[in-house]
Structure 1
Amino acid sequence: MKTNTLTLDTKIQAGKFLTSLIESDIAKERLDLKKNDKIELTATNNTPYIFVIVAGVAGIFSNTNVAIDFAGEGDLLDYNVYSSQLFGKALTDEVTVWRFAQSDVFNKIAQNSEIQLQHYHMLQTIQRRLEKKQTQATLDTKNMIAAFIHTLATRYNPKADDQDMIELPRYFSRKMIANYAGVSLSTLTTHLQQLADEDRVLFNSRVLLISK
């Protein structure tokens, strides 16, 4: 119970951090993306940015087009820890992002202890998400794929709590899942069929559902 409470507190504080940024007097720029539009996440000049998604879902990709993670409403795109160039790509029909100069955000954090705490929890949220993926990646291929699909379905389907079989939003195509899992499309399909035979998933060309 304690762990669940800490996780909930972290999510609340992380959400407050993004609200604090958006409602602050920091200069910001609104970016409206259409499906498949790209946005550079790592600075190629002396002005690194921090990005906040307020609507829609985007994928986070390496410069070799490998899907690293995904981010939706209320997520911070803060992946400057990577040395390679990264870009975001809109997966939904529309994605709205606020862009802040990183230096302005860090100055605001330094001036306010409450925002410092909120920022810490936001970084914890990102770190836990990446650690969860790393743990799931140690499973055998079939169960790794099932774990990835389950995580994405519960994270991005707002009706997940009301469904016996959770539907993965359709912008997560099978090609996208294969990319994220680091397997070929044919390998993904083979394992999906095995999971279907075990009654763990239901799928066809347009719909993919996974059991809770």
Structure 2
Amino acid sequence: MSTLFAELYNRETVEGRFNANRLLELLKEDPVYRVAYKKMEIPKNTELNAAHILDEHIHFLEKGIVAYEYEDQIISFSSEGDILGMNDIFIPKANKYNVRTITKTIIYTFSKQDVLNNIFNMQEGWLFLYLNNQNYNILVAEKYMLMRQIGKTRLKNILMDIAEKYGYQDGDRIKIPGCFTRKDIANYANLSMNSMSQICKMLENEQFCVIKAKQFILLNKNTKNRKASTDNSSVKQRKD
């Protein structure tokens, strides 16, 4: 019963009425839950931890992409609509992650304590924190399973994931933004640069993708049957 209850709230309440965007709206504008904040523009390739931007604060990404790193290994990426600084509420180890911007990034930054005080007083606040932590655990589990795959399969799945989340349509192809460098993708896939180059040549020979000006371009025929990419709306339409 509790599982069904959580699933019901996950879909109908959290995603529909109480998601990260709704929380940001309340913190910025609601007379009861409003909290002082700063809007900041962070340059590309800035380590937020080194700049002390993550100290005792929670941040909402309005624009841009960041990479989570642990001991120089990229764990995941976040982009607009995501929250930085909330994972360590239940998982102390999470605050040891380094966060690096891979594009110019705009964030709203709030006092972590003020945000938590308000969340704890909201009807769906505790559930929101629980589901946020659950999503984090799922991400870690998925990364673990990904790392168990052979290098070629691992890289293909990573490229399809990035294309689905951040790519844009260009005719019959899907382009991955150039901010996802070969070095960062190799790091995320836990591949050496030499292995990365060898596998990329194989993927190009198999017509899975092409690489032009250091940008990965996936052919639609290789992604259209993938369950995670059946919703075409997940791929942005953009002109070069």
TM-score bracket, shorter-length normalisation: 0.7 to 0.9
Deviations 1:152-192 (A, max 9, x none): 111112x35x7643211110000010111111111111111
The answer as to 2:31 corresponding to 1:20 is: no
Shift of 1:7: 7.5
How many residue pairs get aligned? The number is 205
In the superposition, relative to structure 1, how do residues 192 and 18 fare at CA in structure 2: closer, same or farther (>3 Å)? farther
Structure 2: where are the runs of 5+ without partners?
A: 1-7, 224-240
Measured in 1, the distance between the counterparts of 2:126 and 2:95 equals 27
TM-score by length of 2: 0.72
Give the number of the structure whose alpha-carbon radius of gyration is greater: 2
Q: Per chain length, whose mean CA-contact separation is higher, i.e. which structure has more relative contact order (CA < 8 Å, sep 6+)?
A: 1
Q: Does 1:146 align with 2:156?
A: yes
CA distance in 2, matches of 1:135, 1:190: 23
Q: Which amino acid aligns with 1:116?
A: W
1:88 aligns with 2:99: yes
What percent identity do the matched residue pairs reach?
Answer: 21
Partner of 2:146: 136
2:217 and 2:143 mapped to 1: Cα distance?
Answer: 20
Name the aligned partner's letter for residue 17 of structure 1: L
Pick from 73, 76, 82: which aligns with 1:75? 82
CA RMSD of aligned residues (A): 3.2
Q: Report deviation, 1:17.
A: 3.2
2:195 counterpart SS class: helix
* 1:194-205 pair list within 5 angstroms: 194-205=202-213
> After superposition, what is the alpha-carbon deviation per residue over 1:117-140, rounded to whole angstroms, capped at 9, x for unaligned?
344443344333333322222211
Q: Is the 8 A contact 1:17 1:122 kept in 2?
A: no
* Cα contact 2:28–2:36 (8 A) shared by 1: no
Shift of residue 11, structure 1, vs aligned partner: 4.4
CA contact (8 A) 1:11 1:125 kept: no
